[in-house]
Structure 1
Amino acid sequence: MLAAVCLTAVVAGCAAPAAQPEPSPTGGASAALGAVPLKVPGLARQEEEGSGEADARQADAARAALEAAQRWGLDRPPLKAPPRPATRTALTPVQGVKLKDGRPPVVFRVPIQEKVVFLTIDDGFEKDPEFSRMARELGIPVSAFLSDYLVRDNYGYFRDLHQQGVEINNHTINHRNLKVLDYETQRQEICDQQDQLERQIGVRPRLFRPPYGEYNDDTLRAAASCGVQAVPLWNEEAFPDHMEWRYDDRTLHPGDIILTHFRGISDWKATMPDLLRKVVNDVTAAGFSLGRLDDYL
């Protein structure tokens, strides 16, 4: 039959039909033609332009970060934290984490491997607009733990902070040592501040920090009854001129929580931007980035 087809082709003055490609084990006959690139008009140019635009955006972002760092007197731009995790960190009873059934976990260090640490700021006494602007322009993530008696005169400052990405959490109504209070009084201190922050900021916090880091089982039981899901404490405390360390190695570890306070000239003889500059410089020099605690815990 093949000979007859060829003979007919010759008589008709045309070439014999081309041999059909062998079927490919992975993609049929079309895979056999894979060696021949499919050219789409303009596609390569679009890819080059897209890559160029991405490079330009990265260069612009790097230039803006450098300018912001110079404007605020940093040694170098802060390192960028990894993307926000898809799920919060699963907690197990490891160093830095205390777990008990029916109680929110107490966490000194978030158990992660990435070189990320967390800046947390307590109470709310100092309300420095320059600190707010500095944190926003540098993109520094912060978690605030507020006591009502110190912030009730200007909740607007903290609403603005929250709108720019600062998470607002619970530090009790009156900043009392909870360990010396009975269960009902502790519960009032915690739950009333949950209610107040929901009214004033529009959030009902998941995180709670006891004043002075002092707590007992009644504290954790009361916190759980108020909807608290975790109790972060800290491993380092930051000041405008030094860092105080919990451990003798005097170094940062992945997941460390850094404590500081809303304070200023009257307490520190320095400003909150001075404090933030010190923290960011120290964290960056150690090869760490700052993450938002609420994203992980």
Structure 2
Amino acid sequence: MTIEKIRNKISRQLESGKSFGLVVPNKAYAKALIKGIIETSDIQDALVIEPDTNIGIDEIRTVVEFLDFSPKGETKKVILYDADKMTQEAANAFLKTLEEPPSYAIIILVTSRWFSLLPTIRSRLQKLHAQLLIDPDLDEFERYLVYWNYDFLENLKGKNYSILSEEELLETDEINESSVELDVIMSLKQILEQYLSKDLSAYVRFISQLSKKSNIKFLRLVAKIVAWLIYKDTTLSENEKIKYLRICDDILKSKIANFNYQLTYYTLLLGLRGDNL
């Protein structure tokens, strides 16, 4: 099934006067699906909420106000990305609208963490699950990356990424484009794999340099790669894997970038050494 067929299948299930929960592997894939749905309607009748951190009460008020007025066309569509980042206050304010949307409204809450939504929110949504089909020519790590971020697909298929030197990697601060993000990911993985076979003193020196980067986007990339390396490590016990995978997951799903960066880097990266410490 192609992405067009999946998009059409979802479109056929959308009905006015109802609220939906679109469960996706990642936001980039959701955007690829929803792009066609939004393009078919008057842009003035569409509201997209995409939070940098949380979805708060102000965003929900914006939605309610948007739905107070009839559409210029047939329907009004509201898309809330990262719906699992909704605060308790915002969720409580949204319940009535989700349960009884205007007859002309279609509300779609997008999440990759369905069970992170409050039960009171989930109970008011019709759940839609979007399957992700991944190119079989990609290797296991590449498929893992596409499942994380659909925007990587074409560049991975064409091998359109650069392996940065350690110095270039440490100097990278701006990670606003998927191409730069992919360069950093592939470089980090290769450099970490190389350091895992070096002596501990060299590894700790690298961690010391890396831990100076107080950039939440960079830390999340490190956490994603560490999660992969820990998952694939046959020398770690199941309990050790679970311990460090939970740390990685906490970083990836954190709503607020409030970390002791140095401690977090040392905890994650020393954990990769396992019994080799």
- Class of the TM-score when normalised by the shorter of the 2 chains: under 0.3
Choose 1 or 2 for highest CA Rg: 1
Q: TM-score, normalised by structure 1?
A: 0.24
Q: TM-score, normalised by structure 2?
A: 0.26
Higher helix share: 2
* Larger RCO (alpha carbons 8 Å, 6+ apart): 1
